[in-house]
Amino acid sequence: MVTFATERRDYTLHVGDAIRLDLTSGPSGDWISGVDDARVLAPASPASNGIYQAMTTGTTLLTAHVLYGCGNVTPLVPCKPERGLWYQTRVYVLP
């Protein structure tokens, strides 16, 4: 499982493995996630449940973004509606 505490760490998977993006320990809000190469790591379902499956060998960046809105961030995070928070981690997929 990939959590907010593991940002910028590299993960190594094998083709067929799955990884789950769970950012509930960070700022709350509507996270939008994706990968820069869906041929390597693709969403496991269209339900936007944060599960991605390794499809082929390669490297991709798993990214998530949440907009800072005054009503949906934890009190420890400054309220800046014009900005957001980015989460990124690199995923290597081996045969």
pLDDT in tens, 18-70: 988 877 666 666 667 888 999 999 998 776 678 899 999 999 999 887 765 55
Is it the case that residue 11 has pLDDT exceeding 60? yes
**Residue numbers of the domain that contains 38:** 2-94
| Residue in the block written with tokens 């390597």 | 40
Structural domains counted in the chain: 1
Query: Residue 83 — very low, low, confident or very high, per pLDDT cuts 50/70/90?
Result: low
Length, in residues, of the chain: 95
The CA distance from 89 to 39, in Å, is: 17
Alpha-carbon distances, residue 9 vs 6, 51, 87 (angstroms): 6, 17, 11
78-91 mean pLDDT: 71
pLDDT over threshold 90, residue 9: no
For 4, the 3-state DSSP assignment is: helix
Complete DSSP assignment for 53-93: EE-SSEEEEEEEEEE--TTSS-TTS---TT-EEEEEEEEEE
As a whole number of angstroms, the longest Cα–Cα distance in the chain is 44
**CATH code, 56:** 2.60.40.2020
In the predicted model, is pLDDT for residue 4 greater than 60? no
